[in-house]
């Protein structure tokens, strides 16, 4: 039952105004809807009205005040159909639903007794009968009726217009949203909530009230989100000229939430993990995540809400652009190179893996069974990389002009990716037709580069060959337009050389455009032999292969003017050493440490770059997951052994340097999540990790002391992780115990406690997972708990991929149970099993048999689609 992009039809009926009344009850909430509906002029009068609706009990249905007879309409599992309707009319309906039984967390559900909603993508159809598609945009007036005691706070989108008392201890509040919106942006929240309030004055002088609504015990954890919100509002004005458009902006923290957060108009709903942060309970990383997500949701007010998507195939129109916007915002408020390094290393690990697996899909898919399965790294992160390439191709000025044009021309409309790219083409005068293939072609392009220096003529010849491997249902690929930012670093001068191409001087850095399968670029006037620095700042989401020698890489590590590529040179150098060690492990040969890596690290520590956060990244070895992505067949154990060997060899060789780095970066200053402190902490903690990896006595003592000092969660959690992941259970057990007792009351901290334990490499982990699943703080019904325990375990490479298959079986058990409770989370959890083709035959067999076991169950469409693709 897939849906196809090519089948798109504009809606036959529009809803011009929507009035909803919710009478809240945990088991029997009543929703009365009054919809002003109009038939599109071009549509035949005999066209039936089709509304989406799921899991709703219909109590009444009226057209222009007259009740419909049972024979006038049909209700199916998917919705409601009325064969004869006037050209313009009012449809009233009265339906019943049960929020307390809604464990899927789509539509209207209860979380800790609080009512809340999640409608994107297709949750609104679980609230009332409606054309649940983003190209139907309507104004909304919403009345919420609840219990005065249990639900003192009643929120919906827009502006509050009325409230009052009702009989039987009930009360109501009415909200009006003047901006037409698709129903996926509808939101309602009701419960015992408490707020912090602040204000922001927009550049045109509108005073906006900002509110963050939380459960009472979380009032102390909202400062960072509020500060982030204000910074984001100011940034969108300055960077994009976008101002907020209502007098009130609300954020609500909800404990049970499938994703990070949701941009509902004027009423953003957040997973509490994505909004709450306090130095005692949240790590630096969590602080940065909160800032990024608060900004992301806020930015959607324009890129998503004012201008939305015509259909869900266009999802990346709003998500790719908004992720790009939040990345730029975070880069400005934090260390820009570190932000890029972190984003890219995540991208190359996780999105490349998605592109290489059975669920690979284009940034604009052309069909799907279940749209919730497409909230993916490809749609979000690869979509953002495409927008970034666009921005770099046309230049910031034209990009900004194009963006202004886009927001102005399409304000209040539901549009397509072409509409966006056309604005950029117009603003820049560039032909972006080949570039559009990035949206339709799945898979990661690979570029093989060959470079040759011609001493005699002072020329450098760079030949690039691109190919995109086949992906499911896309065998033949066309060449893409790939912008490659590059420089040539002179081996004598250590400087970027001036680039001359086809007689044109381009400066010391240039972007070359690869459009054909193969192209050669001849740089002239190259006075000294260079090492090419390619794909600077990751200028395109591709895998680039160049036969760098280790000497080349050590040279780039210190001389490349591009900070990102200096980091990347270090990663490539480590990868070469890791490849040797992986081979040695497989062949049972003794492992030998590559002294060039040691010397490279030594010189990094001796001539540290100014940005300590960059240094911390440079001292961090590629993760096991990243290494795995580089191997033709993933050998889990060899990768783990090789990485441990390199880590410990570095720790032994540079023990004193790491100790000195640790000492130099300790601080007793009051915690603040500011870039300088974050940088210092991350560098200190990287050093500590090396020391603990060799069970250095002094290092272990420092680690214990850092844990005991209890200065901030970043340091505490890091120390706890190092102890728990070491073989020193005598130190780990008491630390885990005291941490668990201290934070038993705080679910978000307990999530960290779960994750730390189940990500250790020791073989007892599987029993620990089972044991912790019975822990009172764990619940399969809460997505954060599931991610913290089961999700983290599935990322534990050596234990999840145990050769006895127990890891796979455990995951499958959970998926089968969650398939009934929460299909969206269940479908996401399967991901590691879908990657079976990347492993050895034994593991392939074991993984497949678990997928087949899942397939034999009665499945939700979410899980069905993923398993079907995985086994195809």
Count of positions on this chain that bind Zn ion (CB under 5 A): 2
Identity of the residue, 382 or 585, whose beta carbon is nearer to ligand ARG in the bound complex: 382
Q: Which is nearer to Zn ion, 135 or 263 (CB)?
A: 263
The CA distance from 399 to 582, in Å, is 45
**C-alpha to C-alpha distance for 17 and 3, rounded to whole angstroms:** 28
670: closest CA among 711, 730, 718?
711
Between CA 151 and CA 157, with CA 155 as vertex, the angle to 5 degrees is 165
Instruction: Give min distance, CB of 409 to ligand ARG, in A.
Output: 23
Nearer to ligand ARG, 380 or 808 (CB): 380
**How many whole angstroms separate alpha carbon 119 and alpha carbon 401?**
32
The residue (of 319 and 370) whose beta carbon lies closer to Zn ion is 319
Smallest separation, CB 321 to ligand ARG (Å): 11
Q: How far apart are CA 749 and CA 742, in angstroms?
A: 10
Strands (E), 148-264: 153-156, 159-166, 170-182, 188-191, 194-201, 207-214, 248-254, 261-262
By CB under 5 A, which span of 146-154, 313-321, 761-769, 857-865 interacts with Zn ion? Answer: 313-321
Nearer to ligand ARG, 119 or 480 (CB): 119
**Which residues are the active-site residues?**
297
Q: Convert residues 321-340 into a mask of x (bound to Zn ion by CB under 5 A) and - (unbound).
A: -x------------------
- Compute the distance between CA of residue 861 and CA of residue 863 in angstroms, rounded to an integer: 6
CA 236 to CA 404: how far, in whole Å? Answer: 12
Q: Is the Cβ of residue 262 or residue 398 nearer to ligand ARG in the bound state?
A: 262
Determine the angle formed by the axes of helices 806-821 and 765-773, rounding to 10 degrees.
Answer: 20
Angstrom distances, CA of residue 130 to CA of 16, 122, 439: 12, 11, 30
372 binds, among ligand ARG, Zn ion, none (CB under 5 to 8 A by kind): ligand ARG
678 binds, among ligand ARG, Zn ion, none (CB under 5 to 8 A by kind): none
Q: Which of Zn ion, ligand ARG, none sits in contact with 262, Cβ below 5 to 8 A by type?
A: ligand ARG
β-bridge pairing 49-52 and 79-82: antiparallel
Contact positions toward ligand ARG, by CB under 6 A? 120-121, 258-259, 261-263, 296-297, 319, 372, 375, 824
Provide the minimum distance between the beta carbon of 792 and Zn ion in the complex, in angstroms, as a whole number. Answer: 24
> Distance (Å, rounded) from C-alpha 583 to C-alpha 198?
59
Three-state SS string over 461-521 comes to EEEEEEECCCECCECCCCCCCEEEEEEEEECCCCCECCEEECCEEEECCEEEEECCCEEEE
Residues 737-756 that bind Zn ion (CB under 5 A): none
Q: Is the dihedral of CA 784, 211, 130, 25 positive or negative?
A: positive
Say which entry of ligand ARG, Zn ion, none residue 261 contacts (CB below 5 to 8 A, set by partner kind).
ligand ARG
CB-based contact 259:271 (threshold 8 Å): yes
In the complex, least distance from residue 305 CB atom to ligand ARG, rounded to whole angstroms: 10
Nearest distance from C-beta of residue 95 to Zn ion, angstroms: 29
Q: Look at residue 258 and give the partner it binds from ligand ARG, Zn ion, none, a contact being a CB closer than 5 to 8 Å depending on partner kind.
A: ligand ARG
**Closer Cβ to Zn ion, 321 or 778, answer by number:** 321
The nearest distance, CB 788 to ligand ARG, in angstroms, is 18
Identify the DSSP state of 125: G
- H/E stretch holding 647 reads helix 636-653
Partner whose binding site includes residue 347, from Zn ion, ligand ARG, none (CB under 5 to 8 Å by kind): none
CB-count burial class (<10 Å; 0-12, 13-18, 19+) for 533: buried
120 binds, among ligand ARG, Zn ion, none (CB under 5 to 8 A by kind): ligand ARG
> Which CB, 295 or 432, lies closer to ligand ARG?
295
Residue 54 site contact among Zn ion, ligand ARG, none (CB < 5 to 8 Å, cut-off depends on kind): none
CB of 300 to Zn ion, least distance (A): 6
CB of 109 to ligand ARG, least distance (A): 13
Q: Where do contacts with Zn ion occur on this chain (CB under 5 A)?
A: 319, 322
């Amino acid at each position: 039952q897939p849906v196809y992009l090519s089948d798109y039809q504009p809606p036959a009926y529009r809803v011009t105004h929507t009035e909803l009344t919710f009478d809240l009850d945990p088991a029997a909430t009543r929703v009365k809807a009054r919809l002003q509906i109009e038939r599109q002029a071009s549509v035949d009068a005999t066209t039936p009205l089709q509304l989406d609706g799921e899991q709703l009990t219909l109590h009444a249905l009226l057209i222009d005040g007259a009740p419909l007879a049972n024979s006038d309409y049909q209700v199916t599992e998917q919705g409601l159909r009325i064969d004869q309707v006037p050209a313009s009319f009012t449809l009233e309906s009265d339906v019943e639903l049960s929020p307390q039984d809604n464990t899927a967390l789509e539509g209207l559900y209860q979380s800790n007794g609080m009512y809340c909603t999640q409608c994107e993508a297709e949750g609104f159809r679980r609230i009332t009968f409606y054309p649940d598609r983003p190209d139907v945009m309507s104004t909304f007036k919403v009345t919420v009726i609840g219990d005065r005691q249990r639900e003192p706070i009643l929120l919906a989108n827009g502006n509050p217009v009325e409230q009052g008392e009702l009989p039987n201890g009930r009360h109501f509040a009415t909200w009006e949203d003047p901006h037409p919106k698709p129903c996926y942006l509808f939101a309602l929240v009701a419960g015992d909530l408490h707020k912090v309030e602040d204000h922001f004055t927009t550049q045109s002088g509108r005073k906006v009230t900002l509110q963050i609504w939380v459960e009472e015990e979380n009032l102390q954890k909202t400062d960072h989100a509020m500060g982030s919100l204000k910074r984001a509002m100011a940034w969108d004005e300055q960077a994009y000229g976008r101002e907020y458009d209502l007098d009130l902006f609300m954020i609500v923290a909800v404990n049970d939430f499938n994703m990070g957060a949701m941009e509902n108009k004027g009423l953003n709903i957040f997973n509490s993990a994505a909004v709450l942060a306090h130095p005692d309970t949240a790590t630096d990383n969590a602080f940065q995540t909160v800032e990024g997500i608060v900004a992301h949701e806020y930015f959607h007010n324009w890129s998503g809400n004012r201008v939305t998507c015509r259909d869900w195939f266009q999802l990346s129109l709003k998500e790719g652009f908004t992720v790009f916007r939040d990345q730029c915002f975070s880069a400005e408020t934090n260390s820009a190179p570190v932000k890029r390094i972190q984003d890219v290393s995540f991208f190359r690990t996780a999105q490349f893996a998605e592109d290489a697996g059975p669920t690979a899909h284009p940034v604009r898919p052309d069909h799907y069974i279940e749209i919730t399965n497409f909230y993916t790294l490809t749609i979000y992160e690869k979509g953002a990389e495409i927008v970034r390439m666009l921005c770099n191709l046309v230049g910031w000025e034209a990009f900004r002009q194009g963006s202004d044009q886009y927001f102005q021309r399409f304000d209040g409309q539901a549009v397509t990716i072409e509409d966006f790219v056309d604005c950029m083409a117009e603003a820049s005068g560039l032909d972006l037709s080949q570039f559009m293939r990035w949206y339709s072609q799945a898979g990661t392009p690979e570029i093989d580069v060959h470079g040759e220096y011609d001493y005699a003529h002072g020329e450098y010849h760079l030949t690039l060959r691109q190919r995109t491997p086949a992906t499911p249902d896309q065998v033949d690929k066309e060449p893409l337009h790939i912008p490659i930012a590059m420089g040539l670093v002179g081996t004598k001068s250590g400087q970027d050389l001036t680039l001359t191409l086809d007689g044109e001087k381009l400066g010391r850095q240039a972007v070359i455009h690869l459009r054909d399968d193969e192209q050669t670029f001849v740089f002239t006037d190259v006075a000294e032999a260079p090492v090419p620095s390619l794909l600077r700042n990751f200028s395109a989401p591709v895998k680039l292969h160049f036969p760098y020698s280790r000497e080349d890489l050590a040279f780039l590590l210190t001389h490349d003017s591009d900070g990102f590529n200096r980091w990347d040179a270090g990663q490539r150098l480590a990868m070469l050493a890791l490849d040797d060690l992986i081979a040695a492990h497989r062949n049972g040969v003794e492992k030998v440490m590559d002294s060039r890596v040691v010397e490279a690290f030594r010189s990094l520590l001796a001539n540290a770059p100014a940005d300590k956060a960059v240094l911390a990244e440079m001292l961090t070895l590629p993760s096991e997951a990243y290494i795995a992505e580089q191997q033709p067949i993933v050998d889990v154990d060899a990768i783990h052994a090789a990485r441990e060997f390199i880590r410990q060899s570095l720790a032994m060789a540079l023990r004193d340097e790491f100790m000195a780095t640790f000492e130099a970066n300790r601080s007793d200053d009051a915690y603040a999540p500011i870039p300088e402190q974050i940088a210092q902490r991350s560098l200190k903690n990287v050093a500590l990790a090396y020391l603990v990896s060799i069970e250095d006595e002094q290092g272990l003592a420092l680690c214990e002391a850092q844990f005991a000092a209890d200065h901030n969660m970043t340091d505490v959690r890091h120390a706890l992780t190092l102890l728990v992941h070491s073989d020193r259970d005598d130190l780990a057990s008491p630390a885990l115990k005291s941490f668990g007792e201290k934070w038993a009351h705080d679910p978000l901290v307990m999530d960290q406690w779960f994750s730390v334990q189940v990500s250790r490499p020791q073989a007892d982990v599987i029993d620990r997972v089972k044991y912790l699943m019975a822990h009172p703080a764990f619940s399969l019904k809460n997505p954060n708990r599931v991610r913290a325990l089961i999700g983290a375990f599935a990322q534990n490479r050596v234990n999840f991929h145990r050769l006895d298959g127990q890891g796979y079986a455990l995951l499958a058990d959970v998926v089968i149970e969650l398939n009934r409770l929460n299909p969206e989370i269940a479908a996401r959890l399967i991901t590691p099993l879908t990657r079976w083709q990347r492993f050895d035959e034994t593991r392939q067999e074991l993984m497949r048999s678990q997928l087949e076991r899942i397939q034999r169950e009665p499945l939700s469409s979410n899980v069905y689609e993923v398993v079907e693709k995985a086994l195809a």
